[in-house]
Structure formats: structure tokens, C-alpha cells
Amino acid sequence: MTLVCREIYRSFKSGNETIEILKGVNLELDKAEVIAILGPSGSGKTTLLNLLAGLDEVTKGEVYWGDTAVHKTSNNDLARLRLSELGLVFQNHYLLEDLTVFENVNLTGRLQGKINKQRTMEVLQAVGLENRKNYLPKKLSGGERQRVAVARAIYAKPKIILADEPTGSLDRQSAKAVYELLVELARQEGSSVIMVTHDEALVKDLDKRYRLIDGKLIMD
Ligand SMILES: Nc1ncnc2c1ncn2[C@@H]1O[C@H](COP(=O)(O)OP(=O)(O)OP(=O)(O)O)[C@@H](O)[C@H]1O
Ligand SMILES: [Mg+2]
């Protein structure tokens, strides 16, 4: 499945003012492609990922997941498709604090009513957290929490992973480790990845890097 967006716009109203954050963004993500989106704080990176994930609605423009026109699909259908096709890593982790690491990792399965314990252990091992499986998130370090978020995103072997600053708030070494883990797991599964970051050094080796500047996406 490919992900495409065409000429998307998103503005927000603040009092009488309308602020245009995205002003005609185009992107085509190929199968198994790993790309980075760079850009300063406030440039609209999270806004863009939310639109690509179908979690927010464009003011204008089109988003496609394969043949599915996201902008024309009901929220229920999007939720169902999202569970099977997309893996999301949110900027602030969004681990469920009342669930254990094990339960957080297979959340997608839980929501679909089919938990795969073997797969859960497999991804926990892949991120090196099998011995933390019964922990609640509050007992984890920042890097461990981000690895849980990565494990959760990869669990259902999604075709597309959208990761918003998956290494934010980590020191250089841990950031590199989490990033490399995400890319390696995605490559193993043939998933494509959009990685949002403001860490230039981290993604310097990727083939395609884009920059969000003045509401437009420009290839680096
Ligand atoms: N729901 C909203 N209502 C009003 N303004 C919003 C809303 N969501 C985002 N914005 C504004 O849009 C701009 C872009 O926000 P966004 O979170 O996309 O930036 P970002 O590039 O992800 O920044 P960061 O690197 O700090 O995470 C910000 O100025 C923000 O205040
Ligand atoms: Mg952001």
C-alpha cells in the first residue's frame, strides 16, 4: 500500500484569525520506503502526520491509503483500516498507563479482539524489553517507553508506520538506538516509514528527506 497526499491544506481558527499551517503539501510514499520529514518546531509536522493518519481532517486536498480516499471515508472505517494497515508512534508516546508493557504492545490486537501472545513476545524481544513485559509504563525510563511505542507500532506488521519524534527527549546514543531499531524492524517487515524529527544528524543517511517550510513540503 502506498500513501499519497495531494495539495493538502490545514488551517486553524484562533478568535477572528485563521492561521494556515499547511499550504498545499504533496507527498507520495512508496512501498517499503523510509523517509524523514524535518522542520522547526511549530512548522506543522504533527499536524501533517495527523492528517496522513486520518486523525484530523484536511481543510482542502486529498489523502489516500492505497485505493482508499481517506477524506471520503467514515471515521469508523478509517479506525478499522488504521488498526490493520498503520502503525503510529505518537510524539508523546501515548502509552496507556494502566496497561502493562505487554498489554500496550498488543493494543492493536486487543482492539481487534485477537491478541497474539507469540507475536507480542517477538516484538518485545526485538526491542529488548522482554524482561519488562509485566511493568507498568510509569516504571520505565524514557528510552524504554519509546521502545514500547515502537514495538506497539510494529506489532501488527503495518504497511505504513508514521512516527512523530520517536526519539524526542532521548540522549544522542539512545535516540540513535531507537531510530535504528525502528528502521531495522520496518525493513524486516517491508513497512514504509515516515519519520518526523528535528534531529538532522539522526536521519542524514536516509535516501529521501523532506523539509516542512512555510506550509510546504520541499525535498532536501
Ligand atoms: N488544534 C489546533 N488548534 C489551533 N492551532 C493548532 C492546532 N494544532 C496545531 N496548531 C498550531 O499549528 C502549528 C503547528 O503545530 P504542530 O504541532 O503541527 O507543529 P510541529 O511542527 O509538530 O512542532 P514540534 O516540532 O514542536 O512538535 C502550531 O503553531 C500550533 O499552535
Ligand atoms: Mg510535533
Question: Is this structure's pTM higher than 0.85?
Answer: yes
Predicted confidence at residue 174, as pLDDT, reads: 81
Atom of ligand 1 nearest to the CA of 56: 1
What's phi and psi for 3, nearest 5 deg?
Answer: -120, 130
User: Is 197 near ligand 1, meaning CB less than 6 Å away?
Assistant: no
* Dihedral Cα 57, 50, 213, 28, nearest 10 deg: -90
Q: Mean pLDDT per segment of 10 residues, for the chain of length 220 residues?
A: 94 93 96 94 94 96 96 93 92 88 95 93 92 96 90 92 88 86 90 93 91 95
Q: Which of 173, 164, 205 is nearest to 187 (CA)?
A: 205
User: Is 74 near ligand 1, meaning CB less than 6 Å away?
Assistant: no
Predicted confidence at residue 97, as pLDDT, reads: 95
User: In angstroms, rounded to a whole number, what is the distance separating the alpha carbons of residues 63 and 39?
Assistant: 21
Pairing verdict, β 216-219 and 208-213: antiparallel
Q: For the chain, what are the domain ranges?
A: 29-60+74-219
Judge contact between 104 and 136, C-beta under 8 A: no
Instruction: Give the contacts of 180 (CB within 8 A, at least 6 positions apart).
Output: none
Judged on CB neighbours under 10 Å (0-12, 13-18, 19+), 173 is exposed
User: In angstroms, rounded to a whole number, what is the distance separating the alpha carbons of residues 82 and 31?
Assistant: 17
Predicted confidence at residue 99, as pLDDT, reads: 96
Helices (H), 57-212: 75-85, 101-105, 107-112, 117-126, 142-155, 172-189
Question: Which of 18, 19, 25, 46 best tests ligand 1's pocket when mutated (most atoms within 8 Å of CB)?
Answer: 46
User: In angstroms, rounded to a whole number, what is the distance separating the alpha carbons of residues 41 and 30?
Assistant: 26
Pairing verdict, β 160-164 and 86-89: parallel
User: Is 44 near ligand 1, meaning CB less than 6 Å away?
Assistant: yes
User: In angstroms, rounded to a whole number, what is the distance separating the alpha carbons of residues 211 and 220?
Assistant: 6
Predicted confidence at residue 211, as pLDDT, reads: 96
Predicted confidence at residue 94, as pLDDT, reads: 83
Pairing verdict, β 208-213 and 34-38: parallel
Q: Which of 48, 60, 106, 108 is nearest to 83 (CA)?
A: 108
Q: What is the CATH number of domain 29-60+74-219?
A: 3.40.50.300
User: In angstroms, rounded to a whole number, what is the distance separating the alpha carbons of residues 174 and 5?
Assistant: 32
Q: Which of 45, 67, 72 is nearest to 57 (CA)?
A: 72
